[in-house]
Structure 1
Amino acid sequence: MNVLYTAKASVSGEGRKGYGRTDDDRLNVELSVPKGVGGDDGPGTNPEQLFAVGYGACFHGALKKVARESKASVEGSTIDTRVSLGSGESGLNIAVEMDVTIPGVEQAEAERLVAAAHEVCPYSNATRGNIDVTLNARTA
């Protein structure tokens, strides 16, 4: 792999309840444990929220790339991402569901663009075959 960028972060405290920050201080967050997994829903964020934002942003970039390459418009598009934490046979697992809304295009075109973005998105490539990812293409 030809490395283009490396994010550097440090976490301290008690794992899911502590602090996380990047080396450039662009991200500096308090971490808390959601009530659903035994926490108190404190003032901080959690890894699932951070993953939802990261995956959603990456996928949106991939959508814009494939749209540009195919001369399609994704103006006004939005990504709503849900990351679920649950228990399974092998312990705790995560699953992702993403609603990709592309106004002003036909449903078939929205589905084509979403499928193409899923093929090039680095987060999609990293998660493919490892977790359940559900993509819902919407036109408005």
Structure 2
Amino acid sequence: MGIQHSDVKYTAVATAENGRDGKVATDDGKLDVVVNPPKEMGGSGAGTNPEQLFAAGYAACFQGALGVVARNEKADISGSRITAEVGIGTNDDGFGIIVTIKGSFPGQDEATAKDLLEKAHQVCPYSKATRGNITVDLEVV
């Protein structure tokens, strides 16, 4: 079940020019970056790429979801870090992405850390948006 337009609290607006080999900027001017395909995909690699931007957003969103879960579970996640690895490659339909979310939890045992990751994966809006569409692996590091 999706949200209704009347329930939206914030809308980010970004405009791309020239696709994967151009630039992307937000309407408020806070983000204005050159984008280029990575060298591994035949590009110059001079700028950032959409996968890096997606990884940054996913990592930040997941860390926020983890905070919600930790408060509910009364778990200490001080010093925790979430890393999102976003890969792009070919599949049956052309191209697709795959994500690995890696969580580091100083002071937590592996079972507790894994449980927190799995619960955050249920809460995170990026995880909800991609569920059933792409592979997302969770790892404790």
CA deviations on 1:73-99 (whole Å, 9 max, x unpaired) are 100000121100100111100000111
Partner in structure 1 of residue 120 of structure 2: 117
Offset, 1:71 = 0.7
Counterpart pick for 1:10 among 6, 15, 37: 15
CA deviations on 1:10-40 (whole Å, 9 max, x unpaired) are 111x210111110111111111111111112
Partner in structure 2 of residue 21 of structure 1: 25
Partner SS for 2:107: coil
What is the alpha-carbon distance in structure 2 between the residues aligned to residue 116 and residue 80 of structure 1? Answer: 16
Offset, 1:137 = 2.0
Give the number of aligned pairs. Answer: 136
- In the alignment, is residue 88 of structure 1 matched against residue 104 of structure 2? no
Partner SS for 2:51: helix
Structure 1, unmatched stretches of 5+, are none
Counterpart pick for 2:37 among 33, 38, 54: 33
Which aligned pairs between 1:40-79 and structure 2 lie closer than 5 A? Answer: 40-42=44-46, 44-79=47-82
Offset, 1:132 = 0.6
- In the alignment, is residue 126 of structure 1 matched against residue 100 of structure 2? no
CA deviations on 1:39-80 (whole Å, 9 max, x unpaired) are 1212x1000000000000000000011001111110000012
CA RMSD of aligned residues (A): 0.8
One-letter amino acid matched to 1:45 = T
Structure 2, unmatched stretches of 5+, are none
> How high is the TM-score relative to the length of structure 1?
0.94
Runs of 4+, deviation exceeding 3 Å: none
Counterpart pick for 2:109 among 106, 110, 116: 106
> How high is the TM-score relative to the length of structure 2?
0.93
